[in-house]
């Protein structure tokens, strides 16, 4: 009977997480063993993963503050930041994780944990700058290469989006001495001007 009562209690907690009823969630978290938040079975995801998939960033922060392990990996063996990147409301979710202290120190060349590559894979071009800016703010190296030897600039060149390229160059990404031959001449001249403009601004600032 006690086990059944506990299961019902946990079930109610997770339903509240999914619905985003923050007032009720706050009450239930006062009387819950924090280890329950990290339990993960074939039938039940962890509390953090549940909040991410339900796209409930405020509930996510409350769970972490209540003792949910932010560094535990998801049911798909991924860091929670990567799971968040795949969601529609990815920016608010990664904000919640980063502000709560989620680690960004993953294996640089592991394609399954490369945050920059994941950004380009899961975010639209219009969202990329916001995501990359936030990662850059929290110390993620935009020059970090993935298992294919590609970094943020490599992926940005494939999009041929001038605004995104301007942002990365202004953010201080390393630029190659020779631009790819496959790059359209007009775009090549654009990025060269952007690099030259940045150097000139830096020279004036250093005077």
- pLDDT given at position 10: 83
Rounded to whole angstroms, the Cα distance separating 124 from 130 reads 11
- pLDDT given at position 1: 41
Query: How does pLDDT run along the chain (207 residues), one tens digit per residue?
Result: 447 667 788 888 999 999 999 999 999 999 888 888 998 877 789 999 999 999 999 999 999 999 999 999 999 888 999 999 999 999 999 999 999 999 877 654 455 558 898 999 999 888 999 999 999 999 888 998 888 888 999 999 999 999 999 999 999 899 988 888 889 999 999 999 998 888 888 877 776
Which has the closest alpha carbon to 141: 176, 110, 115? 115
Q: Which long-range contacts (CB under 8 A, 24 or more apart) does 172-177 make?
A: 172/142, 173/142, 173/143, 174/143
- pLDDT given at position 106: 60
Rounded to whole angstroms, the Cα distance separating 160 from 184 reads 9
CA atoms within 13 A on the CB side of 127: 18
This prediction's pTM: 0.86
- pLDDT given at position 111: 52
Rounded to whole angstroms, the Cα distance separating 117 from 43 reads 30
Q: What angle do CA 135, 138, 142 make, to 5 degrees?
A: 45
Contact 66, 31 (CB under 8 A): no
């Amino acid at each position: 009977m006690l086990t059944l009562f506990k299961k019902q209690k946990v079930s109610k907690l997770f339903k509240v997480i999914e619905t985003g009823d923050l007032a009720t969630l706050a009450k239930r978290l006062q009387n819950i063993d924090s280890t329950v938040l990290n339990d993960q079975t074939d039938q039940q995801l962890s509390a953090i993963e549940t909040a991410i998939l339900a796209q409930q960033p405020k509930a996510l922060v409350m769970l972490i503050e209540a003792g949910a392990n932010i560094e535990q990996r998801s049911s798909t063996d991924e860091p929670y930041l990567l799971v968040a990147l795949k969601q529609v409301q990815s920016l608010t979710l990664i904000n919640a994780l980063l502000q709560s202290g989620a680690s960004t120190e993953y294996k640089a060349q592991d394609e399954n944990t490369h945050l920059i590559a994941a950004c380009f894979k899961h975010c639209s071009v219009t969202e990329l700058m916001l995501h990359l800016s936030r990662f850059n703010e929290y110390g993620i190296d935009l020059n970090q290469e993935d298992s294919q030897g590609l970094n943020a600039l490599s992926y940005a060149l494939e999009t041929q989006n001038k605004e995104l390229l301007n942002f990365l160059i202004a953010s201080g990404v390393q630029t190659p001495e020779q631009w790819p031959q496959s790059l359209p001449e007009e775009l090549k001249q654009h990025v060269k001007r952007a690099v030259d403009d940045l150097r000139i601004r830096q020279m004036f600032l250093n005077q």
